[in-house]
Amino acid sequence: MAIPFVVLMNNQKITVIVNKNNSDYINWQVELMYDSFLMHHGTDKNFEFMAIVIDDNNPAVCNYPHYICDMQSKAESVQGDHYIIFDRAYSIKNFLETTKGDEDRLFLFVEADFLFARPFPIQAGNVTAQRYWYMDSSNDFCKKCLDYYKKNINPLFVDFDKYYRPIGWPILIREGILNSIVDRWIELNIKFRSENQEFNPLYKNWICDMFGFNIALSEKMIIPDVVEMMNMPPYGHNKNAVFYHYCYDISDPRTGKVLFDKRNYKPWNKIDISENISEESVKFINLINHHISRVH
């Protein structure tokens, strides 16, 4: 499905936001993404790039526009288990409070392992997002999240299973909407995290963070426009994609143990994992992995 173009009104700008900590690896990822951003949007005055730096202890050199968050205001109840994705809601709240703009200002949230594959077209509507296809109902924690959503939020929708799927980054969202949900988003993060200590960090942090975001939106009766925005290697190519999501597993940096492998999850509207992985995807992933091995 192609993403329609919409003319920006009243000189609106889109601010591209990516969260990062100070690891050399993530710093390198953001530099790579910023290079691809400049390639496609460097002369477009409607776009600006901003990396939200979550932890400024021994900060890495950032060769791109960045904002250092004040994480001292973070709730004491969740201190001591620092995790970049879980801290995302706190950092965004801090950024919004410090850089107050127009309620119609648009934010495009991305992750450090995204590359711009082509210029980003503007989608109309309050919230536009990619499907969050990592959710697996056979996983105990994901099932718990889905059950919570169906029990508490389903009355807002006619047919949950047909029309609702969790959304994830990239997300295009207006500042006014983000302001209206950020406190509830944080509250739900803490709720899911405190109730699910037995799960590994991936599930009790990253996935509960995205579910908190989904639920906070739904409680405001906001149903996002969902479009396919990304290539998902090593699955093949979506010719309409504006991003290339190149990391296909998440590993514990201390042990090297793979916590999550995207190859075990079939993306929405993509070819089956066993079919025709393109040579271009394989070469690109090998190149990325070569750089990652040098950073680690």
**Residue 181, pLDDT score:** 92
Q: Where are the alpha helices (DSSP H) in the chain?
A: 24-41, 88-98, 140-153, 160-163, 175-195, 201, 208-219, 279-295
Q: What is the pLDDT of residue 242?
A: 84
Q: Which domains does the chain have, with CATH numbers?
A: 14-137+162-182+225-295 (3.90.550)
Report the candidate in 267, 276, 223, 273 with the shortest Cα–Cα distance to residue 245: 267
Q: What is the pLDDT of residue 180?
A: 93
Q: What is the pLDDT of residue 183?
A: 92
pTM: 0.77
- pLDDT of the residue at 8: 46
Query: Residue 80 has what pLDDT?
Result: 43
DSSP letter for 254, please: T
Of 171, 33, 43, nearest in space to 107 by CA: 171
Query: In tens digits, what is the pLDDT along the chain, a chain of 296 residues?
Result: 344 444 444 456 788 887 776 667 777 778 888 888 888 888 888 888 888 877 656 556 778 888 877 665 554 434 444 444 457 788 888 888 888 777 778 888 888 888 888 888 765 567 888 877 665 566 676 677 667 666 766 555 545 555 456 777 888 888 889 999 999 988 887 777 777 666 555 555 666 777 788 888 888 878 788 777 887 766 656 677 888 887 766 665 555 566 666 666 555 545 454 555 566 666 666 666 555 544 43
CA atoms lying within 13 Å on the CB side of residue 147: 9
